């Protein structure tokens, strides 16, 4: 099996990465080869520095997005280990790209590094592949409004709660996914049942606060108000959660897998003087989201 490989970690699967996938798909069609993305289960900087890199999506989510958004049918997720970090760059091309994955063409970003201490560069990749009879393309950076698209920049947007700008650079809304956990049932007592997700420890957390969101479940999208944080009015010392109140939904989602897509920041999380004051504010937040949702629907007619 001959492959055209798109190379990178691809955190977030943003529009800059999309340029590599589109090029790889076109090249594969020309050569009668299979388009494939090669990524890792662990961010290289996490292993090398010992400091976790907060991610925009998990390895499984990356693979799903690459397949669904860019029609690259095969995604190889290699483990990034101490052995991986020590392999010389020429050996990486020979053993992994050409030997194991049977690459006939590789596509890399302008800042792609590989091999021991990151000594392999796009220029060396291109030169060595040419000597080995393998094609190579190096893709320049993608810019939006003069700003270079990068996973690092998008992580900063998410950390600041700027979900609208993050969506522009991702080419989609920022999303958190997981299995709904059983909470204390306080939302139901206050008159607005909620669904609760734990905040994944490896993920880039959004700015703590309240967001207009959509909750995706069972093929449908439900407008929602989502609180990210520690719920200071009803909890003390709790772990951060992602708590969503769905509009116009009746049912039990405990144990179900849902996706929460972030649309925009509404307000900071804060402690209210009473549960009643919190309830009233949540009702106002829900009306804000309902009005936004209706406006979007009318605008799309």
Q: Does 197 share its domain with 128? A: no
Whether 288 maps to a domain, the answer reads yes
Q: Does 51 share its domain with 131? A: yes
Q: Does 211 share its domain with 93? A: no
Whether 244 maps to a domain, the answer reads yes
pTM for this prediction: 0.90
Q: Does 60 share its domain with 189? A: no
Average pLDDT on 243-265 reads 91
Beta strands across the sheet bearing 74-78: 74-78, 34-40, 3-7, 103-109, 135-139
Q: Is residue 88 helix, strand or coil?
A: coil
Average pLDDT on 119-144 reads 97
Contacts of 207 (CB under 8 A, 6+ apart): 158, 159, 160, 161, 228, 265, 268
- Domain stop point among 108, 127, 145: 145
Whether 163 maps to a domain, the answer reads no
Q: Does 179 share its domain with 141? A: no
Q: pLDDT, tens digit, for every residue of 47-88?
A: 999 999 999 999 999 999 999 999 999 999 999 999 999 999
Query: How far is 29 from 177, CA to CA, in rounded Å?
Result: 33
Whether 87 maps to a domain, the answer reads yes
* Residue found under tokens 């050996």: 91
- Domain stop point among 145, 164, 185: 145
Q: Does 125 share its domain with 218? A: no
Query: How far is 67 from 84, CA to CA, in rounded Å?
Result: 25
Whether 162 maps to a domain, the answer reads no
Q: pLDDT, tens digit, for every residue of 153-209?
A: 999 999 999 999 999 999 999 999 999 987 655 555 555 678 999 888 889 989 999
Whether 151 maps to a domain, the answer reads no
What does the CA dihedral 43, 47, 53, 54 come to, rounded to 10 degrees? 80
How many folded domains does the chain comprise?
Answer: 2
Whether 48 maps to a domain, the answer reads yes
- pLDDT, residue 185, reads 53
Q: Does 13 share its domain with 121? A: yes
In terms of pLDDT, which residue wins out, 290 or 301? 290
Whether 277 maps to a domain, the answer reads yes
**pLDDT for 2 beyond 50:** yes
What CATH number corresponds to the domain at position 133? 3.40.50.620
**pLDDT for 136 beyond 50:** yes
Q: Does 238 share its domain with 281? A: yes
Contact, 139 vs 105, CB < 8 A? no
- Structural domain range at position 187: 173-299
**pLDDT for 281 beyond 80:** yes
Q: Does 289 share its domain with 183? A: yes
Q: Is residue 146 helix, strand or coil?
A: coil
Average pLDDT value for the chain? 90
Q: Does 187 share its domain with 236? A: yes
What CATH number corresponds to the domain at position 286? 2.40.30.30
- Domain stop point among 128, 145, 162: 145
Picking from 259, 178, 186, the residue whose alpha carbon sits closest to that of residue 218 is: 259
Q: Does 10 share its domain with 141? A: yes
Backbone φ and ψ for 286, nearest 5 degrees, come out as: -65, -40
Query: How far is 257 from 216, CA to CA, in rounded Å?
Result: 9
Q: Does 42 share its domain with 113? A: yes
């Amino acid at each position: 099996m001959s492959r055209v490989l798109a190379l990178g970690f691809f955190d977030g699967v943003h529009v800059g990465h999309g340029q590599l996938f589109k090029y790889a798909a076109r090249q594969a069609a020309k050569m009668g080869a299979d388009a494939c993305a090669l990524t890792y289960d662990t961010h290289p900087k996490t292993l090398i520095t010992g400091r976790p890199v907060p991610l925009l999506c998990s390895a499984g989510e990356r693979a799903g997005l690459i397949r669904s958004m860019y029609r690259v049918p095969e995604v190889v997720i290699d483990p990034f280990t101490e052995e991986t970090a020590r392999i010389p760059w020429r050996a990486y091309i020979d053993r992994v790209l050409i030997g194991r994955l049977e690459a006939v063409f590789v596509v890399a970003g302008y800042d792609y590094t590989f091999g021991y201490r990151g000594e392999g560069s796009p220029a060396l990749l291109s030169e060595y592949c040419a000597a080995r009879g393998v094609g190579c393309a190096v893709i320049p950076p993608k810019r939006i409004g003069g700003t270079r698209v990068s996973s690092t920049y998008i992580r900063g947007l998410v950390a600041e709660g700027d979900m609208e700008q993050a969506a522009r650079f991702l080419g989609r809304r920022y999303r958190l996914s997981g299995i709904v956990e059983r909470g204390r049932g306080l939302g139901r007592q206050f008159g607005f049942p909620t669904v609760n997700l734990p905040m994944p420890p490896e993920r880039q957390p959004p700015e703590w606060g309240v967001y207009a969101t959509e909750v995706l479940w069972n093929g449908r999208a439900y407008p929602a108000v989502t609180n990210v944080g520690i719920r200071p009015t009803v909890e003390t010392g709790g772990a951060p959660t992602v708590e969503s109140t769905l509009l116009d939904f009746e049912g039990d989602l405990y144990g179900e897998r849902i996706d929460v897509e972030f649309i925009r920041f509404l307000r900071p999380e804060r402690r209210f003087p009473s549960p009643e004051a919190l309830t009233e504010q949540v009702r106002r937040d829900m009306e804000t989201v309902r009005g936004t949702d209706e406006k979007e629907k009318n605008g799309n007619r």
